[in-house]
Amino acid sequence: MTKNQSVSYTDLRTHTEEIFMEAIAAVEPRSAVLRALDGSGLLPDGPGRIVVTALGKAALPMAQAARERLGDRIVDGVVVTKEGHGGEIDGMTVIEAGHPIPNEKSVQGADAILDLAADAREGDLVLVLVSGGGSALVTA
């Protein structure tokens, strides 16, 4: 663009909105986990067991993405999310806990995650997915 050219307000607004929407899409929990799993190089090839723990306000979509990408390799999972943000994921326990103030479900979530980790065997991969709010949602 030269000094004599100008950009209209509409063009600036359109470009700004496009940049904003791309930024939002880049950090959307499901998409972020899918990208991370696809490019991490951390997932073992072969028949190894995978267990999932997900905690935070975005725990459910993160765990859903893990299930989508890893399928039946996930043998168990615990998802702890904010009350009202729950749902179902095949083969995983979903606990809706208190946020921003922890409650009894927050303690139950912590216990469930500890139990899941304690049951892991040598060679298992424990995939831990954490988003904002996790410190209130999982407390001891």
In whole angstroms, what is the distance from residue 75 CA to residue 119 CA?
Answer: 11
Q: What is the pTM for the complete model shown?
A: 0.82
**pLDDT tens figures, 64-117:** 999 999 999 999 999 999 999 999 999 999 999 999 999 999 999 999 999 999
Contact 138, 55 (CB under 8 A): yes
Mean pLDDT of the chain: 89
Domain 30-137 class in CATH? alpha beta
Where do the structural domains in the chain lie, given as residue ranges? 30-137
Cα dist from 88 to 21, 23, 66, 92, 103, whole Å: 28, 28, 14, 8, 21
Q: Look at phi and psi of residue 49 and say left if phi exceeds 0, alpha if psi is from -120 to 50, else beta.
A: beta
Tokens 């749902």 correspond to 87
